[in-house]
Amino acid sequence: MQLYLTFSSPFARQARILVQEQKLNSVATERFSHPFHNEDELLCSNPLGKVPFLSLDNGISIIDSEIVCAYRDKRLGDGRPSQPLNDHWELQTLHSVCSVLMDTAVHLQMEKLRTREGLRSEFWRKRYLSAIVRSLDYLEKNLTALPRTLSLVHINLCSALSYIDFRHENIDWRLKHPQLTLLAKTLEAKESFTSCKLHE
Ligand SMILES: N[C@@H](CCC(=O)N[C@@H](CS)C(=O)NCC(=O)O)C(=O)O
């Protein structure tokens, strides 16, 4: 089983942290494949042309980070980080907000790269940035929905925040979000998180 990934992908980071948490290193190998290189193996296994996805030994692909994490957790691990999400709609909403926050931060980065091509859109830059700021405020207010034990939502949230640090250092999210700051500081100190830092 191989996880197709880049090491700068916050989506892939979630799946990598989960491997550490569930101690799945012996069954989970990693395969670097930059989506913009359009490798045949990647495009044949994932029609979306995105990473991460999990290529199983039987040829089936598990696509999208949320599904990859759920598969790794429930099928290969003990399922504990997924468990609090069951029938907990508020927590599932928090999970989705974190995923789309991550998506928006990635889009903002893509918009920066378009600057180099002279194609930058001020409309989209501002729209992405405003959505990020509002989502951070929302998360700060709604952290009480998080369970006490480590869940997929904790991993998702920290991956989003670490990506903002990695690509958007001008967004000083710690300034007005003490609860998020404390949570990120605590989780990022764990071995499973430090061993999966984002890098190029
Ligand atoms: N919803 C997807 C998003 C994955 C995603 O956007 N990955 C980025 C890398 S961080 C990518 O592959 N981008 C290439 C593209 O959009 O063509 C997930 O959760 O896995």
Q: Output the six-digit token pair for 130.
A: 């405003």
Q: Let me know whether 87 and 71 are in one domain.
A: no
Residues 120-136, mean pLDDT to the nearest whole number: 96
Whether residue 171 is contained in a domain is answered as yes
Percentage of the chain modeled with pLDDT above 70: 100
How confident is the model over 143-193, as pLDDT tens digits? 999 999 999 999 999 999 999 999 999 999 999 999 999 999 999 999 999
Q: Let me know whether 139 and 104 are in one domain.
A: yes
Which domain, by its residues, includes 14?
2-76
The CB of 64 under 6 Å from ligand 1? The reply is yes
Q: Output the six-digit token pair for 104.
A: 């928006």
> How many angstroms separate the alpha carbon of residue 5 from the centre of ligand 1?
10
Q: Let me know whether 60 and 108 are in one domain.
A: no
Task: Check residue 189 and give its pLDDT.
Answer: 98
Q: Which residue has the tokens 């990598």?
A: 16
pLDDT surpassing 90 at residue 75? yes
Q: Let me know whether 107 and 168 are in one domain.
A: yes
Tell me if residue 4 falls in helix, strand or coil. Answer: strand
Q: Let me know whether 107 and 166 are in one domain.
A: yes
Q: Let me know whether 39 and 107 are in one domain.
A: no
The CB of 11 under 6 Å from ligand 1? The reply is yes
Task: Check residue 28 and give its pLDDT.
Answer: 86
pTM value is: 0.97
Pick from 162, 53, 146: which is nearest to 93 by CA? Answer: 146
Residue 31 carries which DSSP code?
E
Identify whether the C-beta of residue 102 lies closer than 8 Å to the C-beta of residue 156: yes
